[in-house]
Amino acid sequence: MAERSLKLEIRDMTKRYDNGDGVEHINLKIYEGEIVTMLGPSGCGKSTILRTIGGFLDVTDGDILIDNESIVKLPPEKRPTAMVFQSYNLWTHMTVYENLAFGLKLRKIPKDQIRADIDKHLKLVSMSGFEKKYPTQLSGGQQQRIAIARSLLLKPSVLLLDEPFSALDAKIRQQMREELKKIQAELGITVVFVTHDQEEAMALSHRIVVMNKGKFEQVGTPTEIYDNPATKYVASFIGEMNFVEKDGKTVAVRPEDVAITSEPADIQGCVRTIMVLGHYVEVNVQCGDLVVKCFVDRDQSERLNPGDPVNLKFLKTHIF
């Protein structure tokens, strides 16, 4: 990613609402062709940042640049961005084709070109043949595909996605995430994605910005953030983590890094529950007041029973 050119830069940006909430001193560089995800719990400021990029909110201070040009004074329609919202926002009185053609007509693009562009984009989102349908005749996932196609048709320099899949059920969500990744790779477009779902962020992103109360806790690739969480907050927010108090310190250890052994180990306990989750098994071990979660393979779990005394060894720890 290092040799890629800078696409979007947020420089010391602050957005403060009248009630004092908002985000402060945000600095971020996003490179061409990256998917960068703002991840954090409700109210941490993800959408605020996305909306300042899209022009739906004015910044209080600082600057936002795309291709080295400041965009903060431009209205949304003049910015080289397009935004997809959680609630698809398709016009229900228009067909799929009309929904897609609308923005292109405003740009006075010739009819033949519009048809060709729409064909290409419907194919891209696997919706060829749906031109004459109305949004209400489509499933949520299909509507969101059309909303994404509509945004892409405007050929934005940066695509902004605000929790686009959160209204969809789990299976469709996973499918949409995979499709978005494929489309993004095909077009090489730069994407800023907002979600509160850490699994979605891990699966989709080249880099993740973990946010907490209006500030950045950590910016890094999914692997960096998972393997080396910078703070206890990040450790608890991304993936599963056990927190064990040991010698006056908080030791964090992921369930897959806890080995159940008969040899002397870091901590002792009794098997509490054994749950087969598919190809792996979750074993919860009661260690005094604490329950430690371990992921083990099926073979090993078959040798365990609730109540068994076990020793736990921590293979990889993080100390905070």
Ligand X SMILES: Nc1ncnc2c1ncn2[C@@H]1O[C@H](COP(=O)(O)OP(=O)(O)OP(=O)(O)O)[C@@H](O)[C@H]1O
CA–CA separation, 241 and 42 (whole Å):
21
Asked if residues 128 and 175 have their Cβ atoms less than 8 Å apart, the reply is no
CA–CA separation, 284 and 291 (whole Å):
6
Task: For residue 240, give Cα distances in angstroms to 33, 131, 190, 198, 223.
Answer: 30, 44, 29, 11, 14
Q: Does 229 bind ligand X (CB under 6 A)?
A: no
Written as six digits, the tokens of 121 are 């984009």
Stretch that binds ligand X, among 41-49, 68-76, 244-252, 299-307 (CB under 6 A): 41-49
Stretch that binds ligand X, among 37-45, 88-96, 130-138, 168-176 (CB under 6 A): 37-45
**Residue 179: helix, strand or coil by DSSP?**
helix
Q: Which of 19, 136, 262, 305 binds ligand X (CB under 6 A)?
A: 19
Q: Does 198 bind ligand X (CB under 6 A)?
A: no
Q: Does 68 bind ligand X (CB under 6 A)?
A: no
DSSP per-residue codes, 123-146: HHTT-TT-TT--GGGS-HHHHHHH
Q: Which is nearer to ligand X, 43 or 309 (CB)?
A: 43
Q: Which of 37, 48, 184, 301 binds ligand X (CB under 6 A)?
A: 48
Q: Does 45 bind ligand X (CB under 6 A)?
A: yes
State in angstroms the smallest separation of the CB of 83 from ligand X.
Answer: 13
Q: Which of 7, 145, 173, 196 binds ligand X (CB under 6 A)?
A: 196
Stretch that binds ligand X, among 5-13, 39-47, 116-124, 294-302 (CB under 6 A): 39-47
Q: Does 46 bind ligand X (CB under 6 A)?
A: yes
Closest CA to 140 of 122, 105, 167, 103: 167
CA–CA separation, 227 and 9 (whole Å):
27
Question: From the DSSP assignment, how many helices (H) and strands (E) are in the chain?
Answer: 9, 18
Q: Does 223 bind ligand X (CB under 6 A)?
A: no
Judged by CB under 6 A, the chain residues 105 through 164 that form the site for ligand X are none
CA–CA separation, 40 and 163 (whole Å):
12
Q: Which of 6, 17, 61, 228 binds ligand X (CB under 6 A)?
A: 17
Q: Does 83 bind ligand X (CB under 6 A)?
A: no
Q: Which of 42, 136, 223, 305 binds ligand X (CB under 6 A)?
A: 42
Q: Judging by beta carbons within 10 Å of its beta carbon (0-12, 13-18, 19+), is residue 78 exposed, middle or buried?
A: exposed
Stretch that binds ligand X, among 46-54, 201-209, 220-228, 287-295 (CB under 6 A): 46-54
State in angstroms the smallest separation of the CB of 200 from ligand X.
Answer: 13
Q: Which of 40, 54, 222, 239 binds ligand X (CB under 6 A)?
A: 40
Closest CA to 135 of 117, 147, 119, 118: 147
State in angstroms the smallest separation of the CB of 232 from ligand X.
Answer: 20
Written as six digits, the tokens of 36 are 């960068």
- State the number of binding residues for ligand X (CB under 6 A): 13
Cβ neighbors of 56 (< 8 A, separation 6 or more) are 76, 83
Q: How many CB atoms lie within 10 A of CB 228?
A: 12
State in angstroms the smallest separation of the CB of 42 from ligand X.
Answer: 3
Q: Does 199 bind ligand X (CB under 6 A)?
A: no
Q: Which of 44, 146, 209, 310 binds ligand X (CB under 6 A)?
A: 44
State in angstroms the smallest separation of the CB of 37 from ligand X.
Answer: 12
Q: Does 22 bind ligand X (CB under 6 A)?
A: yes
Sites of contact with ligand X (CB under 6 A): 17, 19, 21-22, 40, 42-48, 196
